[in-house]
Amino acid sequence: MSQLNSRQQEALKYVLGPLLVLAGAGSGKTSVITQKIAHLITNCNIPADRITAMTFTNKAAREMKARVQKLLPAERSRGLTVSTFHQFGLQFLRFELVHTPLKSNFSIMDGEDSKRLLMDLMQRDNLSGADSRELVGKAIKMISDWKNDLIPPEKAADTLSDPEDMMFAHLYGLYERNLRAYNAVDFDDLIVLPVKILKQNEQVRDKWQTRIRYLLVDEYQDTNTAQYELIKLLVGTQSRFTVVGDDDQSIYAWRGAKPENMALLKQDFPTLQVVKLEQNYRSTGKILTAANSVIANNEHLFDKVLWSDKGEGKHIRVLTCLNEIDEAERVAKEIVAHRVTHDGKWEQYAVLYRSNFQARLLEAELRQLGVPYKLSGGTSFFARSEIKDVMSYLRIILNPDDDAAFLRIINTPKRGMGSVTLEKLGLLAQEYEISLLSACQHAGLKAAVGNKASHTLLDFAKFIERYTKELYDNSDPMGLVRQMIEETGYIDYIKDDSKTPQQEKVRLENIELLYASMSSLIDRAEDDDEKTIESVIRKMMLLDMLEQQQEEENINKVNLMTLHAAKGLEFDYVYIMGVEEEILPHRNSILSDTVEEERRLMYVGITRAKLELTLLLAKQRRVGRDMRHTTPSRFLDELPLEHIDYPAKKGASKLTKEQAADHYLANIKAMLAKKK
């Protein structure tokens, strides 16, 4: 505790009622949460199994739990719950299954499953646009928003003003009925269903409020309506909780996050105490002054001003480039030259941008200069076809009613099942209101699909049935999982299907990594119920949605990422590209008058920098085939002039092309001389 500053200690010690810790960027909030958990167990005599902490990512939850375990003996931290909101919701549904319409082997549908189901429903109802990715995407977004706002299907239409959108309300009702028929939930249901149960069932509500004697929530500014309701229902009238957040870093409105939940806290919990963490341990004074200056233009319920004892630091540079090609060249060459003169490592540098398309030219420049880089936002590990295939075999083991999983694997590897056969099988399943897998063993199968196809489908159903029984009966299921996948012929299929030996190697390694992850979940499980194949498959399905990007080792590479992806990270030297109107702030935000969130995004970008910050903009930018003149971002006008180096604004002359070339050549010579 002695390592905490006075405000952090105040936040740690207050345990009598509701507490909001307003934690500015880089203010050491994780230390406060982890030390507070240790304080609750050690000094307040609250058993670890009566404390629950929630956050938004698996990585954050793992790190938080690991830090608590370092502070306490193993026996004192045993039973502590540190999880994501959705993991908590999944555990809740397992405990309270009797109060849900679900059977114990329910599936969790991912985004691709939901999309496929909606397209199928649109086709079945002869709704126009079933083949339009844009329309299906809009349907998924609207249904997700309704769920997160706790609006049931029967009330969805009341929220609409455009008659053309009524189709989506109709789809919402169909979608919900089909989810239940499939014995499935989607990602949003993992919060919505627990909230519904806690609201409607006083006995369950009392049980959970008694079980959780203290609740802690990280990144509170990112909560949506359903998550806020969950918090309220879990803490009850005793209101013993700490939420930690920063309204200035609320940048996920498009995902349903509501910074106004800060105001609701004050309204719903009149005795709320507020502690502000304003000392920043990351950035220099000029960077923080710039961040404070920009964010001051937003309205605030709680004011705070970040400060640092790390000295004033260097001016923030603003570079005006001729066009987007010049901008990409400038960033790449600046990083090369800066690294040489500062004897730095590539991993100390980050280039941030508003949208992914801005990285394309920069990637080409970095490759040309031989600069290693890591592009965040690549293909998710769980989105790879071989992982989705293997997971679909496991999903149907968990839930035989999972038609989405069935359709993915019935012809992977090839079993000669054409679309006509599968359509006939689907009609049989619809007629008798059974799953596709059950239809494979129905008495009417042969008449429906023909002799040859019926034998293949029946053999497949028996294969799944056999392995389901064996996997559930086996206390060490991983050997059987491997055996099952090999028996399907899938490994041979990968070898035949891969276009190059390298592709084959990568795909097989990915499958081995999946097996290793499952084994690790079994090994780390704290009780026998968590070691079952059912528990492991469900956890892997949840990881599929929570960890949308495979964690890579950062082996000394320049970091390229969107401003959204950069939240929570820090780098010595930061470059922000495209600081122009219609890029940052984004055109859509200007049109919809939501520029405040874009300003928070700018604030997040500025506060990622520890030592130096460079902002870039182009005079012209290509849009389609046209080259258009740009306007500098309004956020540049909000920066403190005394702390920025902005030659274009101060009327300074720009380097000629020849001078810039000489400058770059001198830097390259210096780099080569250093290597010698």
In three-state secondary structure terms, 129 is coil
In three-state secondary structure terms, 324 is helix
Whether the CB-CB separation of 149 and 225 falls below 8 Å is answered with: yes
Strand pairing class (273-277; 107-109): unpaired
For residues 527, 537, 227, 53, the Cα torsion angle rounded to the nearest 10 degrees is 30
Q: From edge to edge, which strands make up the β-sheet containing 241-245?
A: 81-84, 51-55, 214-217, 241-245, 19-23, 273-277
How far is residue 182 from each of residues 110, 191, 433, 440, measured CA to CA in Å?
Answer: 13, 19, 10, 16
Whether the CB-CB separation of 68 and 36 falls below 8 Å is answered with: no
In three-state secondary structure terms, 21 is strand
Which one of 55, 249, 421, 562 is the catalytic residue?
249
Nearest 5°: the CA angle 152, 155, 160 is 120
Evaluate the CA torsion angle 61, 64, 68, 74 in order and state its sign. positive
Q: Rounded CA gap, 245 and 224, in Å?
A: 13
Which one of 7, 8, 29, 358 is the catalytic residue?
29
Which one of 65, 333, 354, 608 is the catalytic residue?
608
Q: Where are the alpha helices (DSSP H) in 525-608?
A: 533-546, 563-566, 587-591, 595-606
| Strand extents, DSSP E, 343-388 | 349-353, 373-375
Q: Which residue(s) pair with 373 in the sheet?
A: 558
Tell me if residue 219 is catalytic.
yes
Which one of 186, 219, 365, 580 is the catalytic residue?
219
Residue with tokens 């309205």: 299
Which one of 218, 229, 403, 582 is the catalytic residue?
218
306: region left, alpha or beta (phi > 0 left; psi from -120 to 50 alpha) = beta
Which one of 10, 13, 30, 213 is the catalytic residue?
30
Tell me if residue 608 is catalytic.
yes
Tell me if residue 30 is catalytic.
yes
Tell me if residue 249 is catalytic.
yes
Catalytic residues: 29-30, 218-219, 249, 608
